[in-house]
Amino acid sequence: MTDTASDDPSRHSDTAPGAEFGEEDVGEGFRAYVMGLALASLLTVASFITVKFHFVYAPAIPVALFTFAIAQMGVHLVFFLHITTGPDNINNSMALAFGVLIVFLLMGGSLWIMSHLNGNMQLMNPYMQMHEMHMQQASPDQPDQQLMPPLPPDRQPAGKAPQP
Amino acid sequence: MTSGTAALPSGGAKRRHDPNRLGHLSGGQGTSRASGHGTGGPAPKRIVVGYGFWLFILSDIVMFSAFFASYAVLHNGTDGGPDGRELFDLGNTAVETGCLLLSSFTCGLASLAVIVRRKLAFYAAMAVTGLLGATFIGLEANEFAGLVMKGDGPDRSAFLSSFFSLVGLHGIHVSIGLLWLLTMMAQVFAKGFRSDINRRVMCFALFWHALDIVWVALFTVVYLMGVLA
């Protein structure tokens, strides 16, 4: 590895750090791995410190963690896996983009659907909470208490006369 | 493609000026050799094999995302049992993370040792990679055993079921990676740096680095966010 290689203005810039080198350029590959290790360690330590010492505004901590994680995945992709958009690598990048799309559909879709499901379940909540309240009030010596006690008169649905 | 150096870049001086043989430089250096550029012809086998294995890794990551999705949906379902804040030990997770990150680095060094054809450096780097991976698996097994002993096994709650499936799936991948690592050391020992063996080592390196990427998502979503919750 000579210094002239990196100073060469005609050097192509579309190769990943450490991806393409001849036998005499192994030092460059080594430097790429060292830089990847340094950046990844920095981001990992940042994540753990953020959680451990709470020096970030508390509601922003998850956002900070996701930022660090995505940045670290990018560092791994570039410095360790050597994914680029170079001519020999464009298929890999397209496959990665497709993979990311599927991952986002799968995770986002699951969370979206399940949160809506939870939301729909919560529509029943006023009635269910009251039911649970009545169940708690029931003393243990009344085992044959009605499963679903009648609603109080002021909460009866419209059009139904209150029960005597 | 049977000679030892055929699968790896050669002709350093020319490559430095036009690494992908595009022939687009002012001096018209080099002829176009990159695939998909007319005169390029088929891509080198190293590129094709790498692409195929990259597709496998992406499908593996899609599988992981399904486990992540189930964890994200179920992580509040503790059924009155312990949650992440009571169970997770961040110190343990930090050591596991350090092991995996360093092993990713030494795995990269092993790839470099293949390029310069240094057997001793290759064995040393792979051995360190394997030891760090084994330490990771040991720590994780220890954590799992501790949880099960306390009665917080996967049968305790939906949260713990999804936790054990997700983290355990990653652990199984690392264990398989360790077996593969030993196989690659044995193959290099028995057959030397043949071009097909070199491609297998390249695939192993891709697999190992990809596992580290999954672990980044895992320690962020499961452990760090779990301790916050």
Check residue A83 and give its pLDDT.
Answer: 87
Domains and CATH numbers, chain B: 1-43 (no CATH), 45-228 (1.20.120.80)
| Binary contact (B12, A23; C-beta < 8 A) | yes
| Residues A40-54, mean pLDDT to the nearest whole number | 93
Q: Report the range of poorest mean pLDDT among A17-26, A28-37, A80-89, B212-221.
A: A17-26
| Binary contact (A72, B9; C-beta < 8 A) | no
The answer, for A121 touching chain B at a CB cutoff of 8 Å, is: no
pLDDT greater than 60 at residue B10:
no
Task: Summarize pLDDT for A48-82 with one digit per residue, the tens.
Answer: 999 988 888 888 999 999 999 999 999 999 999 98
Q: Report the range of poorest mean pLDDT among A75-79, A156-160, B199-203, B223-227.
A: A156-160
The answer, for A91 touching chain B at a CB cutoff of 8 Å, is: yes
> What distance in Å separates residue A15's CA from the closest CA in chain B?
8
> What distance in Å separates residue B60's CA from the closest CA in chain A?
10
Query: Which residues in B lie closer than 8 A to residue A90 (C-beta atoms)?
Result: 36
DSSP B37: S
Optimal mutation site among A7, A45, A107, interface B, most CBs of chain B within 10 A: A107
Task: Summarize pLDDT for B116-145 with one digit per residue, the tens.
Answer: 999 999 999 999 999 999 999 999 999 999
Q: What is the mean pLDDT of chain A?
A: 75
> Number of CB pairs < 8 Å for A and B?
163
Between A164 and B202, residue with greater pLDDT: B202
| Binary contact (A36, B12; C-beta < 8 A) | no
ipTM above 0.85, yes or no: no
Check residue A148 and give its pLDDT.
Answer: 54
| Binary contact (A25, B12; C-beta < 8 A) | yes
pLDDT greater than 90 at residue B20:
no
Q: DSSP readout, chain A?
A: --HHHHH-TT--S-S-TTTS--GGGHHHHHHHHHHHHHHHHHHHHHHHHHHHH--S-GGGHHHHHHHHHHHHHHHIIIIIS----STTTHHHHHHHHHHHHHHHHHHHHHHHHHHHHHHHHHTTHHHHHHHHHHHHHS-TT-TT--SSPPPPGGGSPTT-PPP-
| Binary contact (A86, B15; C-beta < 8 A) | no
Check residue A69 and give its pLDDT.
Answer: 96
What's the rounded Cα separation, in Å, for the pair A98 and A93?
Answer: 9
